[in-house]
Amino acid sequence: MIDAPSSRRLDHRLPERFMPTINYDLCRVCRRCVNECSYQALEFKESRVVPSGGCVACGRCIAVCPANCIEVRPVPPQFAPHGNWSERSRRSILAQASSGGVLLSSCGADDTHPPIFDDLLLDAAQVTNPSIDPLREPVETITYLGRRPGRLEVCDGKVIVQEDDTPLIRMDMPLMFGHISLGSISYNAQKALFMAANELRIVAGSGEGGLHPDFYQYADRICSEVASGRFGIKPEYLKGVAAVEIKIGQGAKPGHGGHLPGEKVTTMISETRMIPRGTDALSPYPHHDIYSIEDLAQLVSVLKESTEYRLPVGVKIAAVHNVGAIASGLVRAGADFLTVDGFKGGTGAAPRVIRDHAGLPVEVAIAAVDRRLTQEGLRNRVTVCAGGGVRSSADMIKALALGADVVMVSTSAMIAMGCRVCQQCHRGLCSWGIATQRDDLTSRLDPQVAAARIVRLYRAWNEELKEVMGAMGIDSVESLVGNRDRLRYRGPNPKIAEVMNVKHIGEGWG
């Protein structure tokens, strides 16, 4: 399952990145840490536990140690300092010179470039517009996913909705779980997400791994995904869910397909994806029936025909440089909602070069999409979902104010379940039982417990959203969406503020 270190020559072995350090004064030698370490970075030797190399800082040993005597320390730089040749650049070269392979990674881009979210400040109400106490007065966060009616007509006191009346999905908060497939994560992890979405009354993405028969009980909270691999698509996968989403791209790897390595294709995964056991599950880079907006319109239409116009059909794209024009095309192709996945979005496996270097920060992408659709008179017709690097309720609020109707989160839900973002998902050894298919590891995750933690996290975020809206004097989340006048930019590059159409700090209203 993992690459065998012995296959690499010793002279190319890289220095350790992390070192589990044990306080032997406190250690009771219970060896729980040794048993729990799926990366085999600890061993029992000569009556004590010692590090054996390969620690990834997943934090499992720290969490299970009853004596609280383990500390995982980052290993200080082992190469001669150099301002240009970073430790990582040299490690990458050494690794690739040994393997000749494309460097694989997971989770979101981990560069230290500060997110634009951190350069935005929120507004609050003072004197001229009163703030609202969300604990005592109504502050509404109900959000609808789907295509809005183009026009309403009032005739003899009755409201008549003009044009199409595709149903909208009601969600209690402007939040959805991103698409994480069964395969990239375990049965228990996906079950926890669906249970949490059900409890929170929001929508969770299925990912493109099909839908396990046990999960149809949550179907009215699931948005099923049609991606280029077309895994697990059968009539009930399209007809029996809340919404269907065509995945064109993913923020972590725009323009790239999917690749679930054969080791992760267990019997359960093969049944759900409807592919043979042990073969690589490859998703082609493009959909080969979509080479243009007109082709996309056909897939949208055939899905609408297949679902008899009862479900919203959306399209998800990675945030790329021309995202505004592409988003306009998606709406014109018939998408009822569109999802923009930013460059910091997560993944279960992606080439590092793409994960770290391709795409557009979601903050800029949201503003670009919102502005372009508004200019073309389309913005009021669709739901814009956006995600990719949303770490907190503050990021969520800023994404809403930049122009997203719904914010997509995934990594934060993983962290709520136990993930420590050690970026080893692609190895299938997740010690927390999330990004793995190994039975002994997946059984570590109790879906009930994990779901409860996810529910608590996002309920808290929603309360924080209400607090901020109240402080701004806004009583409905719809009035926050696209309200860029309640944001100010304080970052290093005013050009970013200009392209996002956000004023600089110090600039007043009007």
Partner 1 sequence: MKYVCRPKGHAHDCDCGKDSMSVVGDRAVIDLSLSATQPMHYTTLNCAMRKAMRQGCLSIELKGVMGQRYLASTASVPGLHVAVHGTPGNDLGAFLNGPTIEVFGNAQDMTGNTMNSGRIIVHGNAWDVTGLAARGGQILVKGDTGYRVGIHMKEFGESRPTTVIGGTAKDYLGEYMAGGTILVLGLGGGPPVGRSLGAGMHGGRIFVRGEVSPEQLGPGAALLPLNEDDEREVRRLLGDFIKAFGTEVHQDMNGYVKIAPSSSRPFSGYYDKTNV
Write the secondary structure of 168-180 as one string of H (helix), E (strand) and C (coil).
Answer: CEEECCCEEEEEC
Among 38, 141, 166, 411, binds partner 1 (CB under 8 A): 166
Q: What values do phi and psi take at 72, rounded to 5?
A: -100, 115
- Residue 282 CB, shortest distance to partner 1, in Å, is 6
Nearest to 397 by CA among 315, 313, 482: 482
Residue 308 binds partner 1, judged by CB under 8 A = yes
Of residues 70 through 89, those in contact with partner 1 by CB under 8 A are: 88
Looking at residue 140, what DSSP letter applies? B
Q: Are 335 and 326 contacting, i.e. CB atoms less than 8 angstroms apart?
A: no
Tell me the window of 132-140, 193-201, 280-288, 314-322 that interacts with partner 1 (CB under 8 A): 280-288
Q: Does 99 bind partner 1 (CB under 8 A)?
A: yes
Give the nearest distance from C-beta 102 to partner 1 in angstroms.
Answer: 5
Query: Is residue 301 within the footprint of partner 1 (CB under 8 A)?
Result: yes
Cβ nearer to partner 1, comparing 357 with 490: 357
Residue owning tokens 């969600």: 171
Q: Any alpha helices (H) in 403-510, and if so which ranges?
A: 411-417, 439-442, 447-472, 494-500
Determine whether 155 is exposed, middle or buried from the number of CB atoms within 10 Å of its CB (0-12, 13-18, 19+): exposed
Binding region for partner 1 (CB under 8 A) out of 256-264, 314-322, 366-374, 493-501: 256-264
For partner 1, give the closer residue by CB, 233 or 474. Answer: 233
**Cα–Cα distance, 246 to 226 (Å, whole number):** 5
Instruction: Write the DSSP symbol of residue 152.
Output: E
Structural contact between residues 188 and 208, judged by C-beta atoms closer than 8 angstroms = no
Tell the smallest beta-carbon distance from residue 168 to partner 1 (Å). 11
CA-to-CA dists, residue 245 to 207, 208, 334, angstroms: 9, 10, 12
Which residue in the set 102, 135, 142, 325 belongs to the binding site for partner 1 (CB under 8 A)? 102
Q: How near is the Cβ of 153 to partner 1 at its closest, in Å?
A: 15
Interaction mask 18-57, partner 1, x per CB under 8 A = --------------------------------------x-
Is 252 a binder of partner 1 (CB under 8 A)?
no
Task: Tell whether residue 459 is a contact of partner 1 (CB under 8 A).
Answer: no
Query: Do 106 and 349 form a contact (C-beta atoms < 8 A)?
Result: yes
Pairing of strands 151-155, 158-162: antiparallel
Closest contact distance (angstroms) between CB of 106 and partner 1 is: 10
Closer to partner 1 by CB, 286 or 491: give it.
Answer: 286
Candidates 115, 146, 183, 229: give the one binding partner 1 (CB under 8 A): 229
Q: Does 374 bind partner 1 (CB under 8 A)?
A: no
> Which of 402, 346, 328 has its CA nearest to residue 205?
346
Nearer to partner 1, 260 or 366 (CB): 260
Q: Which tokens sit at 411?
A: 């990594």
Residue 42 · residue 16 · CB < 8 Å: no
Give, as ranges, the residues between 351 and 370 that touch partner 1 (CB under 8 A): 351-352
Of 342, 330, 407, nearest in space to 373 by CA? 330
What part of residues 323-352 is at the interface with partner 1 (CB under 8 A)?
Answer: 334, 351-352
Q: What is the CA radius of gyration of the chain?
A: 24
Give me the residues that bind partner 1 (CB under 8 A), please: 2-3, 14, 17, 56, 88, 91-92, 95-96, 99-104, 163-167, 228-230, 233-235, 238-239, 259, 261-262, 270-271, 273-276, 278-282, 284, 288-289, 298-299, 301-302, 304-310, 334, 351-352, 423-424, 426-427
